[in-house]
Amino acid sequence: MNFKVPRGTQDILPSETWKWQKVEKLINEVCEMYRYKEIRTPMFEQTELFQRLVGETTDVVQKEMYTFTDRGNRSMTLRPEGTAPVVRSYVEQKMFGYPDQPVKLFYTGPMFRYERQQAGRYRQFVQFGVEAIGSNDPAIDAEVIALALDVYKRAGLTDLKLVINSLGDTECRASHKKALIAHFKPHIEEFCSDCKSRLENNPLRILDCKVDAENLLIASAPSLADYLNDDSAAYFKEVLNYLDDANIDYEVDATLVRGLDYYNHTAFEIMSTSAGFGAITTLCGGGRYNGLAEDIGGPSAPGIGFAMSIERLLLALEAEGKSFDDESALDVYVVTLGDEAKRAGIKLLGQLREAGIRSDTDYLGRKMKAQMKSADRLNAKTVIVIGENEVAENVVMLRNMANRSQEKVATQDLVQKLNGILKV
């Protein structure tokens, strides 16, 4: 029997994990700068939470959820996204009572969607997301967008495009919905079966359909921009003003609708414009969700956030030909010759690590030449050689690999000596 990693998932090997660690470190640093605090919610939730908050008619809920019945006969779902769990926690933990409002949260963790596998689309992927809950200030919409762009820029990406739209409030959504139904209804037979069922419940999603994307009726559909009421239009204008003030470039796209049902007002996506990137160019998506906390029994608490997958961030870096510096070099490789030297070497290794020095040695009983080769391959900054004579004299041979110089050092002075070399 050949076991394989499940379709749509991947093993992230040590040759790659260091990049993930770099991105995670960057995320933590940027979030700290903007005062977003980390929240960790469970990997699964009651199925109903996603049905209610993400929306019954969305692809995510209809086709993509990993749902199972647990031994207590409850329907559970591996989280397909992070906003619903965070809002659930916000309401349950009464975060609306926290003295510092809005509550600014971030998360990094795996999400699960049963999607068709293709480059940049996985069934398990890691999302970094932020949610700012409790403020209706357009300035925080701009802050959330700036934070996402900041992460990409600090990671080294330059080929980025911000696309933004306003979905308006409930009132404009309702009148736009009516207009869409009237527009598509006479011709609905031309559309795919998904669109047929979207017509009455969620006609906005027809605009987003991949199957019918070329249908001219989509291009000529009533634009939400024409249905924005004064309040919504004014709100959107202010968001754009704040983006202008922050020198953030954007493109307003009246056809941008997001795949999840909870959005109103601001909706945005960040795309990669790099020629090397595959068909799926969306790196990040987000928007405002003012009714969500109330929907699950909480107080009225307007929120905004985004999520990006780390997989796509790394793919975008690759497409731009950029990479992080690998700083995972070893400080010391300990080479030993003979049994006594080996014991002394292992003891020394313990002392080096206690002093915070990254060090390793040979565990295969290999000859000196092979041990030196390992030291080279592992990018060791220094090599310590211990033979019988060195043990007898209580010294080691210390080789600085940068300039290939070599000197005898008393064992008790070694840590101090190394600290001097490794600092530069």
d(CA 293, CA 290): 8
By CB under 6 A, how many residues form the interface with ligand HAM?
26
Nearest approach in angstroms of CB 9 to ligand HAM is: 10
Q: For residues 27-86, which are near ligand HAM according to CB under 6 A?
A: 81-83
DSSP three-state, residue 210: coil
Pull the structure tokens for residue 20. Answer: 């993930």
The strand pairing partners of 257, in sequence order, are: none
Which residue among 58, 127, 215, 272 contacts ligand HAM (CB under 6 A)? 127
345 lines the binding site for ligand HAM (CB under 6 A) = no
d(CA 349, CA 254): 63
Residue 266 or 359: the one with the smaller Cβ distance to ligand HAM is 266
Residue 8 or 387: the one with the smaller Cβ distance to ligand HAM is 8
90 lines the binding site for ligand HAM (CB under 6 A) = no
Sheet containing strand 395-400, strands side by side: 359-361, 332-336, 382-386, 395-400, 405-410
Nearest approach in angstroms of CB 412 to ligand HAM is: 54
Q: How many residues does the chain have?
A: 424
Of the ranges 42-50, 94-102, 277-285, 323-331, which one interacts with ligand HAM (CB under 6 A)? 277-285
d(CA 389, CA 361): 19
104 lines the binding site for ligand HAM (CB under 6 A) = no
Q: Which of 95, 84, 129 is nearest to 270 (CA)?
A: 129
d(CA 145, CA 167): 16
DSSP three-state, residue 113: coil
| Residue 46 parent element (H or E) | strand 44-46
Nearest approach in angstroms of CB 362 to ligand HAM is: 41
Residue 133 or 385: the one with the smaller Cβ distance to ligand HAM is 133
Residue 309 or 374: the one with the smaller Cβ distance to ligand HAM is 309
Estimate to the nearest angstrom the gap between the alpha carbon of 298 and the chain centroid: 28
DSSP three-state, residue 57: coil
Q: Which of 369, 359, 361 is nearest to 341 (CA)?
A: 361
Nearest approach in angstroms of CB 202 to ligand HAM is: 15
DSSP three-state, residue 245: helix
Check residue 392 and report its DSSP letter. Answer: H
Residue 27 or 344: the one with the smaller Cβ distance to ligand HAM is 27
Nearest approach in angstroms of CB 285 to ligand HAM is: 3
Nearest approach in angstroms of CB 84 to ligand HAM is: 8
Phi, psi (rounded to 5 degrees) for 55: 115, 130
Q: For residues 216-275, which are near ligand HAM according to CB under 6 A?
A: 259-260
Residue 312 or 381: the one with the smaller Cβ distance to ligand HAM is 312
Nearest approach in angstroms of CB 238 to ligand HAM is: 19
Residue 163 or 225: the one with the smaller Cβ distance to ligand HAM is 163
129 lines the binding site for ligand HAM (CB under 6 A) = yes
Q: Where are the alpha helices (DSSP H) in 132-270?
A: 138-155, 170-184, 193-201, 216-219, 230-245
Which residue among 311, 320, 362, 390 contacts ligand HAM (CB under 6 A)? 311
Q: For residues 280-299, which are near ligand HAM according to CB under 6 A?
A: 282-287
125 lines the binding site for ligand HAM (CB under 6 A) = yes
The strand pairing partners of 66, in sequence order, are: 78
d(CA 381, CA 358): 10
Nearest approach in angstroms of CB 127 to ligand HAM is: 5
Binding site for ligand HAM (CB under 6 A): 81-83, 113, 115, 121-122, 125, 127, 129, 131, 259-260, 282-287, 305-309, 311-312
